């Protein structure tokens, strides 16, 4: 069996820090193949990807990956827990896999301590967590407070859950425990700048900072590998940059106004009567910022609300997410390197016990599992909605017409 390096990513956009992680991981693992499990046209914080998934796949291949696999939309825009579980389920299909993830902490032992608590859920921890939730805090904040009280060493652990990459790292480790997976985890300490920092440190800047520079029409050259810069610029030139969920505000408000209160209640992440507030806000607001501010509270973070808004236009319900928890997801291949073509042959010869998608039409026309077809339909719809954000040249059904990227 081949030795596989796996990296889970959004690449929004692919910058020098990402290249550093990939190259450092290759040095440590010395893999036969490097696989990327990547979000598609929408990302986990409830925003569109700057550029489409095929452009991101082409960049990833040119920067050193052998295969890029799309993380299905129902996982990609879900909670950190379901995001991680979806990706881990796909990766473990490949056998001898080393998962490399970036983290601000860079300490696998401490990350595993947190993963053990979140997986085992000791009674004392749960009691503290429920007490924090009763204060009206959001779940992420309540969980952070609870685990710090439980560990009883704030000085040692205080900044662990304040960093998004650490949170995802813990969820990857928790998913590995849950599935009793043989995936071997390693972590690469993030260098340059923090995840949400808008500062620039030499040739390193966070994706947040780069997106801000792009929105401000400022120079980003030098902050991205050459191929990433060129493909990103090409998308900008041809009006195919989608830089904010606000681009879809009319579609979102229209959809929510059209939906009944019960239909909104059936959307994932809507609970505790939030559907009434969402419906009221949609009926009285004419722009997305007012809509979000009317719903936002200490309990409901902006990212969670934005995910709910995406669920509305993608019709992602609680049942869809519940189905995704139980599903063995398909492997949707977006691109391969020349070297990766031999791995593609292995995958396509059904040596893996997971459905493989290289042709959307063939998959949808086949007698495949209805749950998986429904998941793939969400990917197709996500692309169709995403291209509405283009300045010009918007086309539907690209999932049927785009060819596999081979570089």
Q: Which CATH number belongs to the domain containing residue 340 in this structure?
A: 3.40.50.620
Q: Which residues of 179-214 are buried (b: 16+ CB within 10 A; e: fewer)?
A: eebebebebbebebbbbeeeebeeebbbbbbbbebb
Tokens of 345: 């042959």
**Is 128 in the same domain as 32?**
no
**Is 158 in the same domain as 278?**
no
Give the DSSP letter of residue 93: G
To 10 degrees, what angle do helices 139-151 and 123-133 make?
Answer: 140
Cβ neighbours around 310 below 10 Å, total: 25
List Cβ neighbours of 199 (8 Å cut-off, separation of 6 or more).
193, 205, 209
CA distance 33 to 4: 5
The number of angstroms, rounded, from the C-alpha of 405 to the middle of its chain's C-alpha atoms is: 21
The predicted pLDDT at position 193 comes to: 58
Last residue of a domain, one of 300, 322, 344: 322
User: For every one of its 407 residues, what pLDDT tens digit does the chain have, with 9 covering 90 and above?
Assistant: 689 999 999 999 999 999 999 999 999 999 999 999 999 999 999 999 999 999 999 999 999 999 999 999 999 999 999 999 999 999 998 988 999 999 988 899 999 999 999 999 999 999 999 999 999 888 888 999 999 999 887 777 878 888 888 999 999 999 999 999 999 999 998 876 555 656 677 788 889 889 999 988 898 989 999 999 999 999 999 999 999 999 999 999 999 999 999 999 999 999 989 999 999 999 999 999 999 999 988 888 899 999 999 999 999 999 999 999 999 899 999 999 999 998 887 777 655 678 889 889 999 988 778 999 999 999 999 999 999 999 988 999 999 999 888 88
**Is 92 in the same domain as 176?**
yes
Last residue of a domain, one of 289, 322, 355: 322
Last residue of a domain, one of 145, 162, 179: 162
Q: Beta 331-336 vs 405-406: how paired, if at all?
A: parallel
Indicate the number of domains in the chain.
3
**Is 91 in the same domain as 187?**
yes
Give the DSSP letter of residue 162: G
Phi, psi torsion values for 195, nearest 5 degrees: -55, -50
Place of tokens 């992440």: 269
**Is 142 in the same domain as 264?**
no
**Is 73 in the same domain as 62?**
yes
Domain that holds residue 139: 113-162
The predicted pLDDT at position 164 comes to: 85
**Is 17 in the same domain as 85?**
yes
Nearest to 382 by CA among 292, 287, 311, 291: 311
**Is 278 in the same domain as 392?**
no
**Is 216 in the same domain as 274?**
no
Q: Is 217 exposed, middle or buried (0-12, 13-18, 19+ CB in 10 A)?
A: exposed
- Asked if 50 and 10 touch (Cβ cutoff 8 Å), the reply is no
CA distance 316 to 311: 5
The predicted pLDDT at position 195 comes to: 54
The number of angstroms, rounded, from the C-alpha of 391 to the middle of its chain's C-alpha atoms is: 25
């Amino acid at each position: 069996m081949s030795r596989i390096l796996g990296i889970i990513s959004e690449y929004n956009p692919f910058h020098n820090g990402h290249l550093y992680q990939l190259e450092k991981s290759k040095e440590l693992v010395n893999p036969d193949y490097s696989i990327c499990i990547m979000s598609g046209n929408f990302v986990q914080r409830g925003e569109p990807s700057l550029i489409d998934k095929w452009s991101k796949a082409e960049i990833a291949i040119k920067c050193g990956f052998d295969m890029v696999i799309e993380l299905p939309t129902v996982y990609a825009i879900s909670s950190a827990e379901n995001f991680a579980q979806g990706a881990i389920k796909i990766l473990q299909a490949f056998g001898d896999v080393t998962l490399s993830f970036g983290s601000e902490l860079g300490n696998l032992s401490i990350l595993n301590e947190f993963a053990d608590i979140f997986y085992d859920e000791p009674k004392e921890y749960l009691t503290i967590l429920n007490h924090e939730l009763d204060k009206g805090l959001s779940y992420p904040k309540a969980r952070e407070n609870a685990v710090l009280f439980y560990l009883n060493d704030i000085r040692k652990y205080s900044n662990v859950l304040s960093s998004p990459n650490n949170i995802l790292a813990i969820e990857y480790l928790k998913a590995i425990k849950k599935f009793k997976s043989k995936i071997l985890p390693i972590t690469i300490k993030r260098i340059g700048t923090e995840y949400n920092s808008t500062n620039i440190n030499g040739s390193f800047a966070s994706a947040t900072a780069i997106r801000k520079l792009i929105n401000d029409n400022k120079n980003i050259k030098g902050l991205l590998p050459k191929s990433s810069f060129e493909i990103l610029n090409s998308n900008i030139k041809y009006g195919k940059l989608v830089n904010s969920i606000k681009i879809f505000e009319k579609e979102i408000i229209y959809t929510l106004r059209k939906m009944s209160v019960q239909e909104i209640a059936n959307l994932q992440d809507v609970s505790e009567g939030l559907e009434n507030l969402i419906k009221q806000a949609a009926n009285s607001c004419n722009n997305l910022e007012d809509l979000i501010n009317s719903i936002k509270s200490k309990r409901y973070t902006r990212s969670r609300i934005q995910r709910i808004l995406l669920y509305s236009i993608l019709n992602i319900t609680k049942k869809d997410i519940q189905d995704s928890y139980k599903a063995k997801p398909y492997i949707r291949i977006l691109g391969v390197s020349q070297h990766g073509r031999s791995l593609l042959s292995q995958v396509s010869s059904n040596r893996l016990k997971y459905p493989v998608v290289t042709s959307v039409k063939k998959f949808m026309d086949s007698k495949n599992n209805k749950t998986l077809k429904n998941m793939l339909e969400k990917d197709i719809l996500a692309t169709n909605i995403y291209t509405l954000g283009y300045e010009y040249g918007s086309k539907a059904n690209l999932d049927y017409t785009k060819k596999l990227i081979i570089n």
